[in-house]
Amino acid sequence: MLQFSDYDYIIVGAGSAGCVLANRLTEDANCEVLLLETGGSDRSIFIQMPTALSIPMNTKKYAWQYHSEPEPYLNNRQMHCPRGKVLGGSSSINGMVYVRGHAKDFDEWEASGAEGWNYQQCLPYFKKAEDWAFTPDAYRNQGGPLAVNNGNNMQNPLYKAFIKAGVEAGYMETADYNGKQQEGFGPMHMTIKKGVRWSAANAYLKPAMQRPNLHVQTGVQVDQVLLEGNQATGVRFQHDKEQYSVKARREVILSAGPIGSPQILQLSGIGDKETLDQAGVELRHQLPGVGQNLQDHLEFYFQYKCRQPLTLNSKLGPFSKLAIGVRWLLFKTGLGATNHFESCGFIRSKAGIEWPDLQYHFLPAAMRYDGRSAFAGHGFQLHIGHNKPKSRGWVKIKSNQATTAPQIQFNYLQHPDDIEAFRACVRLSREIIAQPAMDPYRGEEIQPGAKVVSDEEIDAFVRESVESAYHPCGSCKMGSVEDEWAVVDNQTRVHGIKGLRVVDSSIFPTIPNGNLNAPTIMLAERAADMIKEQTPAATNEVEVALDAQWQHSQRPNAPARG
């Protein structure tokens, strides 16, 4: 039997947010913290070696292998939704891409009811978290826990050719999309340090685990928050078929992610009465927004054959993989030390869109996330997706058992604007790859294929081919008590329940234009100050670049060709 005392704070989930909170709260030596995690150790070469990113994501040991309900607007396909089940959570299984989102995304949070979460107030916490590999400025910082760089610095010529093609097509070039100007094409940033995945576990949790006031317990399944009236007093969980109840002197903090956090709230009787009745759970506190407002990014692979033998498709054989692995084990360098997404682009899908809503990840290979080759030969691909979807879904428990996976419905492409944006993804991508910079490399279009041209043909391709970009969020929305869907207030406190917070990407009001690990870590850094009742970091008043002609043009300049 395990032995537990009472703790000041109990954090549920050792993912990106939970690791940050465990570190920051235990900076106070008088504060006792218990961190609970279902998964186990992250000591695996497949987690720590960046190029192996597809393996932990698709391994039951390291990830919850959730699937959505049949998606009605995607030909009833059930979409894969892996979530981290290991120390570091999804930061230990993700693609390590570091994107903060556009400044306007956070102004949008505030406008939707999350008072005080505008960009100028969030920026100091992005900076607090960061250890930027290049020259710091008003937007970037050195000395934080989270290492950020450009991997192998675009040694493959395809990376720079893609950036040049974007400029030739009439778009801007940006030296730092996480700085003053997101819009445009430039080098991509990743959370890697000295060739190793720099997860939240490596950056935040492992240093904190040296402190005597942090207790980390793995292998547990939390099934409910304990309540006395409207006061959260602790949690109940299972470990090795034994049940435990542990009390929190101050607060319980859910950081179980956009699937786990609403599931635990609903299992605790906090949520919509109809959902809880159907699952056999007694309603303790009516909060209809729990599980609602679910959002995610979709993307597809735009693939081309490559006319020159310089892509990663030649490195997929067993001997090449062995050589890459051995070099990484010995020196932490080479192709094993990058996620291979080293250049990117952020553009607007049409005139009248104020800030970018489409994102490119460029990969000098034609392959899937699971590592399978697209065809025999050399190729490259763009991961392209619409990043500001208007479609909304939900998470609902099916029973009163924590071991039963909840129902997940994203309703991808429910909104017609999302369909229109994906048509732009196809047409604008073709135009970019048709530019002179890609002439030495561009071969036959593999996917979607040159015959996919009309709206109807593009829509059919998208419905059949899009995949999740693994960015679910929004299912415990942050907002004012007047908002029916709001679950937490702007201090991350659950509406109507004392001593209970949710701190993870589930509380994002709207999804940012970019990958979600960076804003999740920022949010947790800021929430830690709120929990400790510290004076918030000084607001950064910095300039944000926008295309002055955004209302009238889709890009700043006419394309050079195509």
pLDDT value at 562 more than 70: no
Does 12 lie in the same domain as 113?
yes
84 within domain boundaries: yes
How many angstroms separate the CA atoms of 382 and 302, rounded?
5
Do 381 and 424 lie in a common domain? yes
Per-residue pLDDT tens for 420-446?
A: 999 999 999 999 999 999 999 999 999
Domain presence at residue 178: yes
- Residue 505 inside a domain? The answer is yes
Average pLDDT taken over every residue of the chain: 96
pTM > 0.95: yes or no: yes
Positions marked active-site: 471
What pLDDT score was predicted for residue 506? 99
Closest CA to 249 of 223, 218, 226: 226
pLDDT recorded at residue 151: 85
* Residue type present at position 447: Q
Q: How confident is the model at residue 374 (pLDDT cuts 50, 70, 90)?
A: low
Annotation-wise, does 86 bind a ligand? yes
- Is residue 5 one of the residues assigned to a domain? yes
Whether residue 97 is annotated as binding a ligand: the answer is yes
Q: Does residue 407 sit within a domain? A: no
pLDDT in tens, 99-118: 999 999 999 999 999 999 99
User: Where does the pLDDT of residue 178 fall: very low under 50, low under 70, confident under 90, or very high at 90 and above?
Assistant: very high
The torsion angles phi and psi of 231, rounded to 5 degrees, stand at: -115, 125
Residue 60 domain flag: yes
CA atoms of 366 and 470, how far apart (whole Å)? 19
- Residue 406 included in any domain: no
Cis peptide before 448 (omega within 30 of 0): yes
Three-state SS at 268 = coil
Residues 354 and 439 placed together within one structural domain of the fold: yes
- Residue 375's pLDDT is 72
The amino acid sitting at 41 is S
Q: Is 148 annotated as a binding residue?
A: no
The span from the CA of 413 to the CA of 351, in Å, is 21
Same-domain check for residues 139 and 47 = yes
| HEC secondary structure over 286-320 | ECCCCCCCEECCEEEEEEEEECCCCCHHHHCCHHH
Q: Is residue 539 part of a domain?
A: no
290 labelled ligand-binding: no
| Local confidence band at 559 (pLDDT 50, 70, 90 cut-offs) | low
Q: Residue 350 belongs to a domain with what CATH number?
A: 3.30.410.40
On whether both 253 and 368 belong to a single domain, the answer is no
**Among the ranges given (150-154, 297-301, 349-353), the one the predictor scored with the smallest mean pLDDT:** 150-154
Q: Nearest-5° angle of CA 525, CA 389, CA 476? A: 45
Residue ending a domain, choose from 465, 489, 509: 465
The answer on 448 and 330 residing in a single domain is yes
DSSP-based three-state secondary structure for 177:
coil
Instruction: Please tell me the total count of domains within the chain.
Output: 2
Give pLDDT tens digits for 392-402.
999 999 999 99
43/60 Cα distance (integer angstroms): 15
* Domain span including residue 169: 151-187+298-386+413-465
Handedness of CA 428, 430, 435, 437 (dihedral sign): positive
**Higher pLDDT among residues 3 and 66, named by residue:** 66
230 shares a domain with 180: no
